[in-house]
């Protein structure tokens, strides 16, 4: 039996027995499951750290490859996310994406940084929650090796810059030229593609600079949702709940 200390964010939990909860914690080394025993008792010291979004330093017991939470120093609870439905659903979408991406990655340092800043700006600034969900999705997919093709057609390789008409094909891995578009390709204007290009070049701590015009926000919401569902091979449910206005 040994003790380890890890910084991370609670990205999922499942209740079990009467008072226990299994936490999924995103750390730099990937996602780990840790049992928080007794955390649902009103006076439990583990109560504050056993909620979604909590960022803290977790002291874990490890025994035969299984972890349980011994103590936690909560650094940030992102409390405003629980008081506003739009902020909550945007942040819940970020957790869904992070959980999917962390499954096949042990090297999650950048993903954890992106999630920390995206939750911070969604909770504590006037940035539109959808803008934060879109920029987090784009940047976290790119950080884990799924950068969408945005300067060249994902099918034929032609330069997309200066073209008046283009689309987005999640299955092809990015934007496509007019000649390669299918009837059901997603709509994307040159303005939205340029916004996506700029997002991918931003540092994690600069994500709050993203302020999208309404039409761009709507296009990129659709594009990034479909692209992330394709990459992660699952339906993501939270973003559909989020008011786009």
Local structure of 16: helix, strand or coil:
strand
Residue nearer to Zn ion on the CB measure, 155 or 239: 155
Range in contact with Zn ion (rule: CB under 5 A) among 91-99, 120-128, 153-161, 208-216: 153-161
Residue 53 structure tokens: 């979004």
Q: How far apart are CA 182 and CA 148, in angstroms?
A: 18
Residue nearer to Zn ion on the CB measure, 112 or 196: 196
Q: Are 65 and 35 in contact (CB under 8 A)?
A: no
Q: Are 96 and 13 in contact (CB under 8 A)?
A: no
How near is the Cβ of 166 to Zn ion at its closest, in Å? Answer: 9
How near is the Cβ of 223 to Zn ion at its closest, in Å? Answer: 17
Which position has the token pair 């939270």?
238
Q: How far apart are CA 24 and CA 99, in angstroms?
A: 9
Range in contact with Zn ion (rule: CB under 5 A) among 30-38, 80-88, 123-131, 172-180: 172-180
> Which residues in 23-52 contact Zn ion (CB under 5 A)?
none
How near is the Cβ of 200 to Zn ion at its closest, in Å? Answer: 20
| 113, containing H or E segment | helix 109-124
Residue nearer to Zn ion on the CB measure, 18 or 184: 184
Establish if 160 lies at the interface with Zn ion (CB under 5 A). no
> Which residues in 179-198 contact Zn ion (CB under 5 A)?
180
Residue 148 structure tokens: 């969408």
Establish if 156 lies at the interface with Zn ion (CB under 5 A). yes
According to CB under 5 A, which one of 25, 177, 196, 236 is a site residue for Zn ion? 177
Residue nearer to Zn ion on the CB measure, 109 or 157: 157
Residue 105 neighbours by CB under 8 Å, 6+ apart: 30, 111, 144
Residue 229 structure tokens: 């569902």
Which position has the token pair 């784009």?
138
Range in contact with Zn ion (rule: CB under 5 A) among 46-54, 72-80, 117-125, 170-178: 170-178
Looking at residue 6, the DSSP 8-state letter turns out to be E
Range in contact with Zn ion (rule: CB under 5 A) among 6-14, 125-133, 169-177, 181-189: 169-177
According to CB under 5 A, which one of 97, 153, 195, 220 is a site residue for Zn ion? 153
Range in contact with Zn ion (rule: CB under 5 A) among 7-15, 155-163, 164-172, 193-201: 155-163
How near is the Cβ of 167 to Zn ion at its closest, in Å? Answer: 10
Local structure of 60: helix, strand or coil:
strand
What order of strands is seen across the sheet that includes strand 166-169?
Answer: 174-177, 166-169, 186-187
Local structure of 193: helix, strand or coil:
helix
Residue nearer to Zn ion on the CB measure, 70 or 189: 189
Q: Give the footprint of Zn ion on this chain (CB under 5 A).
A: 153, 155-156, 177, 180
């Amino acid at each position: 039996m040994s003790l380890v200390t890890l910084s991370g964010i609670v990205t999922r939990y499942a209740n079990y027995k009467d008072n226990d909860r299994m936490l999924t914690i995103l750390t730099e080394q990937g996602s780990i499951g840790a049992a928080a025993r007794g955390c649902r008792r009103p006076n439990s010291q583990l109560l504050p750290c056993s909620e979604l979004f909590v960022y803290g330093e977790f002291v874990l017991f490890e025994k035969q490859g299984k972890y349980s939470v011994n103590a936690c120093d909560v650094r940030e609870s992102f409390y405003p996310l629980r008081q506003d439905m739009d902020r909550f659903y945007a942040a819940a979408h970020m957790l869904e994406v992070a959980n999917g991406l962390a499954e096949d990655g042990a090297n999650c340092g950048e993903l954890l940084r992106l999630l920390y800043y995206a939750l911070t700006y969604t909770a504590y600034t006037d940035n539109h929650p959808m803008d934060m969900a879109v920029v987090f999705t784009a940047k976290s997919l790119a950080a884990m090796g799924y950068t969408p093709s945005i300067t060249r057609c994902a099918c034929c390789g032609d330069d997309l810059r200066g073209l008046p008409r283009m689309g987005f094909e999640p299955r092809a891995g990015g934007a496509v030229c007019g000649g390669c578009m299918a009837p059901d390709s997603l709509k994307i204007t040159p303005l939205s593609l340029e916004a996506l290009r700029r997002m991918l070049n931003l540092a994690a701590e600069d994500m709050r600079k993203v302020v999208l015009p309404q039409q761009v926000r709507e296009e990129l919401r659709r594009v990034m949702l479909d692209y992330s569902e394709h990459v992660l091979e699952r339906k993501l449910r939270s973003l559909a709940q989020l008011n786009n206005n």
